[in-house]
Homo-oligomer: A and B are copies of this chain.
């Protein structure tokens, strides 16, 4: 499968590595290719510059957002939450038509520093905003409540973590679930339509704030049924 990934940060790179390892083709999208490659500084959370990562991942293509939206049969939106719609606009919204768009973003308010606060609003989650912006695409909210290394390799000693999904299109959610099961996910919950993205994003912040406050990035929630 051809996978397009918006966002050159840790989330996009981790997804790219896993898809390449599984034999897929991957293009990562950025606003400005030259600028992305010229950068020699780590990002805010210490992720090394892109060019360094690329040296070890030469089969991952780097393109513009438009290239990447064209390329991908399945497209991940893994930019900062605040710029997700803008990145989509730069690509051209028609390029997403009839494609599965997986939104991994979270609405982070960093104005108060670390840990980030929640910048979302009921009925206006990033998942819902992206679906409204792309009415011809099948948006699935997923993978936003976990460390990415756990997303692509959900093996925990203490139990079986739970993967939450939301979206309006049942078939699209089934396809995302298939991808997740290929990575080892055993417990996948379809929460309902894209409106549930609000609760996933708010819960993600609980997870993220715990992470910063406890310097832990190896934790994940599980759902006990009985």
Residues of A within 8 A of B (CB): 109, 117-119, 122, 156-159, 161, 189, 191-192, 196, 198-200, 202-203, 205-206, 209-210, 213, 216, 218-226
- Taken together, the copies of this chain in the complex come to 2
Given A118-B199, A198-B118, A213-B192, residue A225 in contact with residue B218 (CB < 8 A) = yes
Give min CB distance, A210 to chain B, whole Å. 7
* Contact across chains for A222 and B225 when beta carbons are under 8 A apart: no
Partner of A226, one of B119, B158, B191: B158
Is the pair A219, B209 in contact by a Cβ cutoff of 8 Å?
Answer: no
Chain B nearest CB from A204 CB (Å) reads 9
Inter-subunit contact B191/A210 (CB<8 Å)? yes
Residues of B within 8 A of A225 (CB): 158, 216, 218-219
